[in-house]
Amino acid sequence: MKSILVAGCAISLALTGTASAVEVKVSHSSQASLSSELHTAAWAFQNYLEDFATDFNVTIYPNNQLGQEREVYEAMQLGSGADCAISGTAILGNFDAKLGVVDLPYLWRDYDHVHRVLDGEVGDALAEGLRDSGFEIVAWLDSWGYRNVATTKPINSAEDLKGLKIRTIPTNTYVKTVNAMGANATPMAFGEIYTAMETGVLDGLEHSAALVYSTKFYEVTDYYTLTRHFFGPVVFVCSNAFMSRLDDSQKEQVMEAAAFAGDLERALAPVREQDALAALADAGMTIGEIDITPLREATKPVQDELAAEIGATDILEQIRSAAEAR
């Protein structure tokens, strides 16, 4: 009888432990591969919480399994679907327009500039604005490299971009930037790029080296020129609804896990960028450097105009000042 009672208590405790575990659903849009910055961050977050924290069970939903990014964020506002999500900042700009300031052209000098700004007052201010929309920024992450230009023609100077039909993301920021650089911005769905390059509808596209390599755009382009016109930070957010369900200790553990993921991303970013450039060269592309000073100057009015439109002129000036304060 005693052994039965002991066994029953053990089972009861086991069930209680399982029931009390915090379930965390993390969404992102990339493939489930550690060659993706989004999945790597989710993987690091998951492993930290499950290995070093107490009573967490993290499930990752890659490749938009819970819906397109905007749909995921809208559900999170209502306290349903994902608990946390990792993405670029562009989609979240729909919930707080000022967040779009971090995606302006030629804004970031280098990785250090990004870190100093987003780990300081600017990052705190942007986090506060997003908190009012139902989201808590738990970590700022690095994307794996700047966006550059892949073309069928050599680019030896900024002048060589003039008139080239360059595919862009169909957003105001991207279209205005590429046009200001002298090219002919051509908004197009991502899935149409390869065929458009094959048939000569496009002269090129702009994206990170890692993506150009992973999607085999090196098969339809010959030159990859380091224009470094965009560097979009990645943001890791959890819903206010999720965070409110946690006690203070659990919140601290979630923040620690997110910080761990952020530190890992930042360590990997410059390495992965260089690895991707080397892979493109091995695939036969010519990697070119040009003087980007004319492009910086040409896109400065775009920075001013777009920052004013979203009410972020003061934040833009803070970011610019930080670049000069090294």
CA distance linking residue 162 with residue 184, whole number of Å: 7
Q: How confident is the model at residue 6 (pLDDT cuts 50, 70, 90)?
A: very low
Of 238, 244, 241, 266, the C-alpha closest to 37 is 266
Question: Is 61 within 8 Å of 38 (Cβ atoms)?
Answer: no
pLDDT score of 10: 39
Q: Is the dihedral of CA 177, 180, 182, 185 positive or negative?
A: positive
Residue 31 pLDDT > 90: no
Give the range among 11-15, 183-187, 234-238 with minimum mean pLDDT: 11-15
pLDDT score of 326: 64
pLDDT score of 215: 83
Q: Which two tokens stand for residue 298?
A: 């040409």
The Cα-based distances of 2 to 5, 8, 13, 78, 84 in angstroms read: 5, 10, 17, 49, 45
Residue 102 pLDDT > 50: yes
- Equal CATH topology for 23-144+232-277 and 147-230: yes
Q: Which two tokens stand for residue 106?
A: 């030629």
Partners of 166 in the beta sheet? 185, 204
Name the residue type at position 298.
A
pLDDT score of 325: 75
Percent of the chain with pLDDT over 70: 94
- Could you count the other beta carbons within 10 Å of the beta carbon of residue 103? 20
pLDDT score of 59: 98
Q: How confident is the model at residue 265 (pLDDT cuts 50, 70, 90)?
A: very high
CA distance linking residue 251 with residue 257, whole number of Å: 10
pLDDT score of 5: 39
Give the pLDDT mean for 160-165.
Answer: 98
pLDDT score of 97: 93
The per-type count for the chain, helices as H runs and strands as E runs, is: 13, 11
- Residues 62-78 have pLDDT tens digits of 988 999 899 999 999 99
Give the pLDDT mean for 250-273.
Answer: 95
pLDDT score of 88: 87
Tokens 């959890």 correspond to 238
CA distance linking residue 205 with residue 151, whole number of Å: 7
Residue 49 pLDDT > 70: yes
Burial class (CB in 10 A: 0-12, 13-18, 19+), 121: exposed
- Residues 53-63 have pLDDT tens digits of 889 999 999 98
For the domain bounded by 147-230, which CATH number is listed?
Answer: 3.40.190.10
- pTM comes to 0.84
Domain range annotation of the chain: 23-144+232-277, 147-230
What's the CATH architecture for 23-144+232-277?
A: 3-Layer(aba) Sandwich (3.40)
Q: How confident is the model at residue 1 (pLDDT cuts 50, 70, 90)?
A: very low
Q: Which two tokens stand for residue 212?
A: 């150009």
Q: Which two tokens stand for residue 323?
A: 């670049």
Burial class (CB in 10 A: 0-12, 13-18, 19+), 179: middle
